[in-house]
């Protein structure tokens, strides 16, 4: 294997390991060395599982030597947001309070499935406290830093996941997305991220935020790697009550199918407001490449975002009430105050939000009777500066933290599958959402792959950091 290890894709690593051109142990050591060399700057990792990774890599190499098929991710290093249970580590979920928990006795289901496919876990990643965050600025562990400009945010709450993949520390990472926490870091850090359909991937043995919104999914530097990880993690799981019983539906083999017959539209109205010029440019590059001429209006998207806020803050408050009563001073004050506000939302307002949610879902699903794909911005802007409190949207000064997810929340609100793909503008990349009907991950990944082959969507290499 002569290529620079940090430039190899997950699929290239796996082929090299299986083809005896390198070993899983060599790949693992190279990843651990990159983490040791660069993560003091990026601050993407909170735990590095070096001993475990080496043992796992040696076992893979022994299996390959014995002629055993070790899976499509043979020897591929990956890391997970620290709300995933990792055996032997306390699941901190970005918090101070959870550090007092006993070490987890077992890995999360998705870690088990990734390793069953041959991948090697190298650590756990920085995140916003209890996943209630869009910036990636953790008050306990410090902010994760953007690999394209370390003075800027990674986005959150899966900020460490975006930084680790965008910074070439690992080729794959796992994160969670409640209101945009995979898509926002993907946009800011210039990588591909998949938020699958709600219920598609198991959440068993992960720390929740909003049970009715929480999704788990992968980050990668290519659509192909995203599909490989997604395929490895599919399948029913009785340990997650929300996990679908649908059979595994692999998508990797479908990526090269022609997309010419797909009906593609760009989201108008709400999704063309509250955007900086760079978001407009990114969407224009994608729609031009795809020859999109149709615009569709997603009805009441602004109200959907408002309802998502109501449900998020009330479900989150309910989850954390005991911690708020007993250890309120150990919370990030910004997170604590939003949770306390959620605890005081009147029940009739929550009921109205849930009723609206059902209506809104029916209206959006009706749109997908006449279109297959909807294109929309992932974030209103490129990554803001660390510590930046406000920005101007449509001439109004607004809080950054509350408004980064302005275009992601109306989509996660009803659990649609989305790929956030990176458009490499200068000096910073920005993401675009590729959205489809439930269970059509194959479509969003095919479109992402096509745009990657056209050179429109690429994960840019960061400079020195």
Active site residues: 81, 157, 181
Contacting residues for 79 by C-beta, under 8 A, at least 6 apart: 44, 45, 121, 122, 123, 124, 125, 160, 161, 164, 169, 170, 173, 174
Inter-residue contact 183 to 378 (CB < 8 Å): yes
DSSP at 206: B
181 close to 208: Cβ distance less than 8 angstroms:
no
Q: Report CA-CA distances (Å) from 401 to 133, 135, 305, 334.
A: 7, 6, 15, 10
Count of other CB atoms within 10 angstroms of residue 418: 30
- In whole angstroms, how large is the CA radius of gyration of the chain? 20
Question: Between vectors from CA 253 to CA 252 and to CA 255, what angle results, nearest 5°?
Answer: 70
* DSSP, residue by residue, 96-163: SGGGGSPPBSS--HHHHHHHHTT-EEEEEE---GGG--SS-EETTTEE--BTTBTTB---SSSHHHHH
């Amino acid at each position: 294997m002569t290529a620079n290890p940090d430039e190899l894709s997950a699929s290239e690593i796996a082929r090299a390991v299986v083809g005896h051109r390198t070993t899983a142990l060599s790949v693992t050591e190279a990843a651990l060395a990159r983490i040791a060399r660069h993560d003091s700057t990026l601050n993407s990792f909170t735990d590095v599982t070096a001993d475990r990774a080496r043992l796992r890599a040696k076992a893979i190499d022994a299996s390959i030597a014995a002629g055993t098929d070790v899976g499509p991710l043979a020897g591929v290093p990956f890391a997970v947001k620290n709300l995933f249970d990792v055996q032997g580590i306390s699941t901190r979920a970005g918090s101070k309070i959870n550090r007092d928990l006993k070490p987890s006795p077992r890995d999360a289901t998705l870690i088990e499935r990734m390793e069953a496919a041959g991948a090697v876990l190298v650590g756990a990643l920085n995140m916003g406290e209890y996943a209630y965050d869009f910036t990636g600025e953790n008050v306990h562990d410090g902010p994760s830093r953007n690999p394209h400009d370390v003075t800027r945010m990674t986005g959150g709450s899966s900020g460490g996941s975006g930084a680790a993949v965008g910074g070439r520390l690992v080729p794959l990472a796992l994160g969670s997305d409640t209101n945009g926490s995979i898509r926002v870091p993907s946009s800011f850090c210039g990588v591909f991220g998949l938020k699958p359909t709600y219920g598609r991937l198991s959440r068993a043995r992960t720390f929740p935020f909003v049970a009715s919104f929480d999704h788990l999914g992968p980050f990668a530097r290519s659509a192909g790697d995203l599909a490989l990880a997604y395929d490895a993690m599919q399948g029913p799981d009785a340990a997650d009550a929300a996990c679908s019983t649908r059979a595994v539906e692999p998508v990797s083999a479908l990526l090269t199918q022609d997309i010419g017959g797909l009906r593609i539209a760009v989201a108008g109205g709400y999704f063309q407001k509250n955007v900086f010029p760079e978001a407009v440019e990114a969407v224009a590059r994608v729609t031009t490449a795809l020859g999109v001429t149709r615009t569709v209006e997603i009805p009441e998207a602004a109200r959907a975002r408002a309802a998502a806020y109501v449900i998020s803050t009330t479900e989150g408050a309910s989850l954390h009430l005991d911690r708020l009563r007993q250890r309120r001073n150990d919370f990030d004050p910004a997170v604590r105050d939003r949770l306390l506000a959620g605890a005081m939302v009147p029940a009739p307002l929550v009921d109205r939000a849930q009723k609206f949610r059902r209506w809104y879902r029916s209206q959006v699903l009706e749109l997908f009777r006449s279109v297959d794909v909807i294109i929309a911005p992932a974030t209103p802007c490129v990554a803001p500066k660390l510590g930046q409190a406000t920005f101007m949207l449509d001439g109004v000064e607004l809080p950054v933290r509350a408004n980064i997810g302005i275009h992601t929340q109306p989509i996660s609100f009803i659990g649609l599958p989305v790929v956030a793909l990176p458009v490499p503008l200068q000096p910073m990349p920005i993401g675009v959402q590729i959205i489809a009907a439930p269970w059509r991950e194959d479509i969003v990944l095919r479109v992402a792959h096509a745009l990657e082959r056209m050179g429109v969507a690429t994960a840019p290499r960061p400079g020195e950091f």
